[in-house]
Structure 1
């Protein structure tokens, strides 16, 4: 089982790897750049080599890079759309150097222009930037459905992928809180949800899972993560997700509202039960 949390790379990639080891994680997620802005630190090759040693010596699973929240490929505003293109293209170049094979981003919000318009805008960026030669798998994150978000249904995720020329490089990251809030009953009908995903998108597209509890109720269309076992999904249902035969080989990343020490306790609980 590959299990980790979100770890800051502010002190470098090697330090992030050391923090992951200290909390008994064997993978981790990190932001590619300032999550609320867009600036990215210059890469330090020695620092990256230090991370590579940690990954190899400790048999880590795939790492997950997360795009900034400010990246909105669905926007009708040209400055926002152009920033999304710049950040996306730059992140893909940087990930050819960083030992990370998965890159996750929020599809974005159409801000009143309609889902079809937003999907076309997202596909436009992806087709302009992706060459087909990248070694990174690009993941659309499933969303909760708040406001004008795109990607809260399996159909919307599929429709984006179908418009991408190099769709062989596209995958999905599902988030347990988002799924539950979007109206997918992973507590009482996990098999049915996975069957629906497989039918619409294809289970082979599922490359990562954000593991969170839900601070709000089922089908609330709200995005508030809770600690493991502290929300409306519950510990038993989350453990069932990790144990599911179709999911057991996929890396799981905690995005719960805690610092590394809190994540360490959650990882201990999960490992003791799985």
Structure 2
């Protein structure tokens, strides 16, 4: 039995050969899910999607096992900011991300809530909620996922309670979920590597956002220690979490069908190492 046989494992894939080439690349890895950028993650503008590319992508997706695809939104989308000139740019760019994901038929779109900077956490949370209300529409297909943060600086989303406060103010709640990043979770102080800590984390998720809101994972080990609030991804099993630290998560039946995406430092060159590390947990 392999980890790719029992979990919805995937990785972030390059679109250098075209986004329509990614479904076949995912199949080569044995991935049942994967993640991509549909545009440059560090630019506001995006070249319109070519209709032929969209058509070919959908065809390739179906012919290669119809994997679940998660889009990672641009890193520029600081939805927690109070700067109105910036918020207008974020609003337009976020709508574009949703439109592109829908046009391609992708199922999930994850984003970083961002930083409240000189404001307060409460204002930052309200800003994220308001932005989601501005950009999410009742007729969109893609589900928008809030990624938890490592808690660095004035970032929003380091606890599930904070994320629950964001979702509580969102009007289209059925269009919103959560991406749980394991490096960020570890950095925020959740010790999911031990049975007691894992149980406490699950209890907090149930009490705040609900297990059904966990619609995606980013699988990463961490270069930094538990609770250090530093976002430094590492290969699975080579960081402070350690490969055994993933055993409770990987065997949790609540998440067997939830996409789990590698975002480890070597990218595609390192995914076989990540898979082999997790396969140790099933032996």
Q: TM-score, normalised by structure 2?
A: 0.91
In 2, Cα distance between the equivalents of 1:237 and 1:16? 30
- What's the secondary structure of 2:179's corresponding residue? strand
Match of 1:197 among 196, 202, 205: 205
State yes or no: 1:142 paired with 2:164: no
- Measured after TM superposition, the shift of residue 273 of structure 1 is 4.2
For 1:130-209, what aligned pairs fall within 5 Å after superposition? 130-188=136-194, 189-209=197-217
- Measured after TM superposition, the shift of residue 194 of structure 1 is 1.0
Gaps of 5+ in 2: 1-6
Number of aligned positions between the proteins:
274
Flag the 1:22–1:268 CA change in 2: closer, same or farther, 3 A.
farther
How much is the aligned-residue C-alpha RMSD, in angstroms?
Answer: 1.6
- Measured after TM superposition, the shift of residue 271 of structure 1 is 4.4
Flag the 1:98–1:237 CA change in 2: closer, same or farther, 3 A.
same
| Counterpart residue number, 2:257 | 249
In 1, Cα distance between the equivalents of 2:8 and 2:160? 24
State yes or no: 1:235 paired with 2:274: no
In 1, Cα distance between the equivalents of 2:187 and 2:281? 25
Return 256-265 or 156-165, whichever deviates more.
256-265
Q: TM-score, normalised by structure 1?
A: 0.94
- What's the secondary structure of 2:109's corresponding residue? strand
In 2, Cα distance between the equivalents of 1:73 and 1:210? 20
Match of 2:126 among 120, 123, 130: 120
In 1, Cα distance between the equivalents of 2:66 and 2:245? 26
In 2, Cα distance between the equivalents of 1:233 and 1:53? 39
Flag the 1:240–1:41 CA change in 2: closer, same or farther, 3 A.
farther
| Counterpart residue number, 1:96 | 102
Return 145-154 or 44-53, whichever deviates more.
44-53
- Measured after TM superposition, the shift of residue 23 of structure 1 is 2.5
Gaps of 5+ in 1: none
In 1, Cα distance between the equivalents of 2:51 and 2:272? 29
| Counterpart residue number, 1:210 | 218
